[in-house]
Chain A
Amino acid sequence: MKILVVDDSKAMRMIVIRTLKQTGLGNFQTVEANNGAEALAMIPDQKPDLVLSDWNMPEMKGIDLLKALRASGNTTRFGFITSESSPEVRKEAEDAGAAFLVTKPFTPNSFEAAISPVLA
């Protein structure tokens, strides 16, 4: 399984990957992108099984990345990991086709609860 982690903070990407390793999700490899535009360019070649994206990023926001993917017919499973937590943002994410939204700060348990059903 390959997971693409998209966040403009390198340190946050490290923490997301560290937390993924603390879950019981099994074997996976990770690739990283610094923003939505970079991720959008990488996805056709990398073909990740799951995209975990921040919401607010320069160049291209996470929600715009998701909308661009879906508009191009790409159905890669997609979840947000973000400090955003309002009902409006959750609804926008869901309407655009996100499988889940995990609010920062997160734990291995919150990751596993969100991701496991998606990968089942």
Chain B
Amino acid sequence: MSGGALPTLDQLQKLMQCLLGDGVQAKTTMTGPDLSKPYVLASYVNEASEVRGILACDLGLSNSMGAAFSMIPANVAADSTKAGKVPDNIQGNLHEVLNVCVNLFTDNGKERLTLKDVKVCAPNEAPPAVTQSAKFSVQVPRYLGGNCMAGKVGV
């Protein structure tokens, strides 16, 4: 990612607090999302449609972010996570949250990236190979929260 960047803990926490509320807490972690379970993968592409960044989030965090964005009850998010899915009413919100997350990768706008897609990956489905990554745990008050991994793709 020429001129690109990985999100810092501070950037991630501020973004999540802006979108989901001041109580959101993030911390760096050694373990990313559990890829042996369904997880959500957001891909960010440059103007040549090359994937330059990814954000992989476990289902608990994905449903928490999507639900908290418009105050969908926490039990809806928790039940969806147990069922291994992201329901339609959370999907739209999650897409918007992950769209804003593009700015975690753009290094102050040096390279224009856009959200290409958001998909729920099957257990053990490998995400694109990353050259660098950062892993975070995100706690959303009243929701499950969970882990995510931000990765740079390419040089």
State which residues 34-83 of A face B: CB under 8 Å: 56, 83
Task: Report the Cα distance A15→B68, complex, angstroms.
Answer: 12
Shortest distance from the beta carbon of A91 to any chain B beta carbon, whole Å: 11
Q: A9-B96, A105-B18 given as contacts; is B109 within 8 A of A83 (CB)?
A: no
Would B70 and A83 count as touching, CB distance under 8 A? no
- In the assembled complex, which residues on chain A have CB atoms less than 8 Å from the CB atom of B114? 56
- In the assembled complex, which residues on chain A have CB atoms less than 8 Å from the CB atom of B103? 83, 85, 103-105
Would B70 and A11 count as touching, CB distance under 8 A? yes
Whether, in the assembled complex, B76 has its beta carbon less than 8 Å from a beta carbon of chain A, the answer is: no
Whether, in the assembled complex, B93 has its beta carbon less than 8 Å from a beta carbon of chain A, the answer is: yes
Would B70 and A107 count as touching, CB distance under 8 A? no
Residue of B nearest to A19 (CB): B18
Q: A86-B111, A105-B19 given as contacts; is B69 within 8 A of A11 (CB)?
A: yes
Would B18 and A86 count as touching, CB distance under 8 A? no
- In the assembled complex, which residues on chain B have CB atoms less than 8 Å from the CB atom of A87? 109
Shortest distance from the beta carbon of B143 to any chain A beta carbon, whole Å: 15
- In the assembled complex, which residues on chain B have CB atoms less than 8 Å from the CB atom of A56? 114
Inter-chain contact total with CB atoms closer than 8 Å: 46
Whether, in the assembled complex, A95 has its beta carbon less than 8 Å from a beta carbon of chain B, the answer is: no
Would B112 and A89 count as touching, CB distance under 8 A? yes
Whether, in the assembled complex, B15 has its beta carbon less than 8 Å from a beta carbon of chain A, the answer is: yes
Query: Which of these, B14, B93, B106, B111, contacts A105 with CB under 8 Å?
Result: B14
Shortest distance from the beta carbon of B154 to any chain A beta carbon, whole Å: 18
Whether, in the assembled complex, A113 has its beta carbon less than 8 Å from a beta carbon of chain B, the answer is: no
Shortest distance from the beta carbon of A5 to any chain B beta carbon, whole Å: 14
Task: Report the Cα distance A12→B95, complex, angstroms.
Answer: 11
Whether, in the assembled complex, B102 has its beta carbon less than 8 Å from a beta carbon of chain A, the answer is: yes
Would A107 and B18 count as touching, CB distance under 8 A? yes
State which residues 68-111 of B face A: CB under 8 Å: 69-70, 92-93, 96, 99-100, 102-103, 106, 108-111
B binding-site residues for A, Cβ under 8 Å: 14-15, 18-19, 69-70, 92-93, 96, 99-100, 102-103, 106, 108-112, 114-115
Q: List 14 A-B contacts (CB under 8 A).
A: A12-B96, A14-B70, A56-B114, A83-B102, A83-B103, A86-B106, A86-B111, A88-B112, A90-B109, A104-B103, A105-B14, A105-B15, A105-B103, A107-B18
